[in-house]
Structure 1
Amino acid sequence: MVVLAKAELEQIALPAAAPPTADIRAVDLSAAPGAGRAAAARALVAACEEQGFFKVTGHGVPQELVRAVEAAAAGFFALPQAEKEGGAGEPVGYGCKQIGDGGDLGWIEYLLLCLTSAGTVPAASFPFSTLPCAAAAAAAASLSEPSSPLRELLEEYAAAVRRMACGVLELMAEGLGIEPADALSRLVADAESDNMLRVNHYPPAPRPEQQAGRLLTGFGEHTDPQIISVLRSNGTTGLEIAGRDGAWSSVPPDADSFFINVGDALQVLTNGRFRSVKHRVVVSSERSRVSMIFFGGPPPADKLAPLPQLLGDGGRSRYREFTWKEYKSSSHKGRLVDNRLCHFEN
């Protein structure tokens, strides 16, 4: 249960606007090698250049698994607050209303897990924060509580989505004409990769806000710091993306597809050719929204800089070289809305 004081509710209140519906490009990942796959690669690159956001079909993630995870997550969030905060026997990281350490609030509760080659490890902080490397997380996993139905489902789901994310990144490399084929996907597939899974629950808005004709911020406007984010929700509206002109548009729900957005790290790797998309979640007063987001991040010690093949004729790099750990440490100091990449520009 999300409980906010009156002043906190005022802080996250938004005008009850009705933004236009976004036109989201769809990319079929099941296209066979040849002309169909080449066309899918071109469509994917175009979507990353235009919006930094698209959806994928033919992704290969079983719908039965998705439905089972959504049902298990909904069951967890329906538990009494004391049980959720105590873990209810589930070794997962739970948070409510506070998003990070910068003072941001939202009409939200969530589960947050660090993903490693050893499975899932609780992470009680926002993904911008500095998290343990895979070795430390694996050690923590060996000391954690026995596995549980929810954790097992989350691990199975995360593994399936990670495979799909790597496929998307390989198709992206193909569309960009860069080699080797795993130039991007290896950053997410490595045993040390800093991958995370976040399960967000946005309860219906409280009645006073409905009567006032306002909406609430579920998750404030931001870009994701990682390479790629893979999202799906339970068919409920609320996700909005900002265009290049700053205007917001509403993303229509899709029960069968996954939504992908470009993260800050991918913007750096492509030398700004792809742009990380600013997005937010506005709370619907009609029904709860449950969304699951896989964040694909590189190993903490990996150095990030524009790929040589994407520097262009002039060979000018828009960003200086830095490690993923350095970027996360810098990101952790600010607010959601802050432009984090400006500190790493040449």
Structure 2
Amino acid sequence: MVVFAKGELEQIALPAAEPPPADVRSVDLSAPSGPAREAAARALVAACEEHGFFRVMGHGVPPELVRAAEAAAARFFARPQGEKEQEAPTLGYGSKRIGGNGDLGWVEYLLLGVTPSGAAVPTASASSSTLPCAAAAAATAAAGASSPSEPTGPLRDLLDEYTVAVRRIACAVLELMAEGLGIAGAGAGGGDSLARLVTRADSDCMLRVNHYPPRPALNPSLTGFGEHTDPQVISVLRANGTSGLEIALRDGAWASVPPDGDAFFVNVGDTLQVLTNGRFRSVRHRVVVNSEKSRVSMVFFGGPPPGERLAPLPQLLVDGGRSRYRDFTWSEFKTSGCRTRLAEDRLSRFENK
């Protein structure tokens, strides 16, 4: 349950608009070596340049695992509110507050860090967090717990297995991306480093499970998760066949993403925009709640290690081209971003003027 006061509901109310459907490119990760894989790599690069958003097929994640994880999450969110709040130390549970700077949404969630093995751990006990500081609410909820217990049970087991599988998708996407950019095997500063960013033992990866309850009566449309870009390298997400996700096109107009029960969707994040010197677009997106059906989404955020220095890849600065961004560490970027509201442009502070 997401409980709002009247004034808070007014803050997240939206016009009952229905944007046109987005034209989302598809990329086949299972394409065999040769012309088919080259075509898939070109399609991926084109999608990153156009919208910064695409769907992936041929990902190899068993549909049974996806359905089981979604069903277990839905059962958790259907539990009494008091029981869910008791799970904050072990599952990183929070609701309505997105970060610590006043952003609200018609959402409750689980937020978990990812260990080197790929298992998910609650952000309340994880050593790293994510932007835009969504961990703050979960950590606050957990602060009153006297002795956080070890997470156990089928939901955690399923989320661990799911996280391992989806991180493999993130790696496969980054490897294919490097091929499309012509930097695969280019050494420490090139294609090999893209996948490495999300697979190192200290990579700052997260899993977020969002539940958007049906809209309340007399509220035709609400903000589920306000407009923002993801700060990490890439995000891999899927939802339970319920609409609500919208992306911003280059002209600023919003377009709705048709739900897909088989594919995963990938967002370009701020970090990848920096690595490609702005060639790839960090997509601005949001979730609107205007349905009588619950929406459950699971998002894997592939982030770099805290001390990783981030700057445009030299191979992509053609003919000594100018770098649009000064170099910075992921930790610096996170610290800066945690001071901003959800919709603010975090990258502008790191641009070369």
How many Å apart are 1:120 and its aligned residue? Answer: 2.1
Q: Under a length normalisation based on structure 1, what TM-score does the superposition of the two structures give? A: 0.93
Structure 1 residues 306 and 144, CA gap change in structure 2 (3 angstroms): farther
Q: Does 1:76 align with 2:76?
A: yes
Equivalent in the alignment of 1:140: none
Quote how far apart the aligned CAs of 1:149 are: 1.1
Residue 66 of structure 1 corresponds to which residue in structure 2? Answer: 66
Q: Which residue of 2 aligns with 1:135?
A: none
Counterpart contact for 1:129–1:329, Cα < 8 Å: no
Query: Which of 198, 211, 214 in structure 1 is aligned with 2:208?
Result: 198
What is the CA–CA distance in structure 2 between the aligned matches of 1:241 and 1:191, rounded to whole Å? 32
Deviations 1:237-257 (A, max 9, x none): 000000011000000000000
What do residues 162-202 of structure 1 show as CA deviations (whole Å, max 9, x unaligned)? Answer: 01110000000000001424220000011110000000000
**What is aligned with 1:128?**
132
- The separation in 2 between residues aligned to 1:179 and 1:324, in whole angstroms, is 23
Do structure 1's residue 217 and structure 2's residue 223 form an aligned pair?
yes
Contact 2:130 2:334 (C-alpha < 8 Å) held by counterparts: no
Kept after mapping to 2: 8 A contact 1:204/1:284: yes
In the TM superposition, residue 144 of structure 1 has moved relative to its aligned partner by 4.8
SS of 2:192's equivalent? Answer: coil
Moved more, 200-209 or 180-189: 180-189
Residue 162 (structure 1) aligns with: 167
**CA–CA distance in structure 2, aligned partners of residues 144 and 2 of structure 1:** 25
User: Structure 1 residues 146, 335: closer, same or farther in 2, change over 3 A?
Assistant: closer
Distance 1:202 1:129 in 2: 19
Q: Which residue number in structure 2 is paired with residue 139 of structure 1? A: none
Q: Letter of the 2:181 partner, please give it.
A: L
Q: Which amino acid aligns with 2:162?
A: Y
Pick from 323, 336, 341: which aligns with 1:330?
336
Query: Residues 117-164 of structure 1: CA distance to partner in whole angstroms, max 9, x if unpaired?
Result: 153221157643398xxxxxxxxxxx8515321111101000000011
What's the Cα RMSD here?
1.5
Secondary structure at the counterpart of residue 318 of structure 2: coil
Answer whether contact 2:100 2:134 (CA < 8 A) is retained: no
Number of matched residues?
A: 330
Query: d(CA) in 2 for partners of 1:155 and 1:304?
Result: 29
Runs (4+) off by over 4 Å: none
Instruction: Say if 1:130 and 1:328, in contact at 8 Å, map to a contact too.
Output: no
The counterpart of 2:314, out of the listed 262, 286, 308, is 308
Using a 3 Å threshold, how does the CA distance of structure 1 residues 186 and 240 change in structure 2: closer, same or farther?
same
Give the aligned residue type for 2:223.
Answer: T
- Asked if 1:271 corresponds to 2:277, the answer is yes
What are the ranges of 5 or more consecutive residues in structure 2 without an aligned counterpart?
136-147, 186-190
Q: Which residue does the alignment assign to 2:237?
A: 231
Name the amino acid aligned to 2:154.
P
State the match for 1:296 in structure 2.
302
SS of the residue aligned with 1:15?
coil
Residue type at the aligned position of 1:215:
S
Deviation at 1:208, TM superposition (A): 2.3
**What's the counterpart of residue 99 of structure 1?**
98
Mapped contact 1:99–1:126 kept (Cα < 8 A): no
Cα distance in 1 between the residues matched to 2:49 and 2:303: 20
Task: State the AA in 1 paired with 2:132.
Answer: F
* Structure 1: distance between partners of 2:297 and 2:131: 15
| Uncovered stretches (5+) of structure 1, i.e. residues with no partner | 132-142
Shift of 1:102: 1.1
Secondary structure of the structure 2 residue equivalent to 1:158: helix
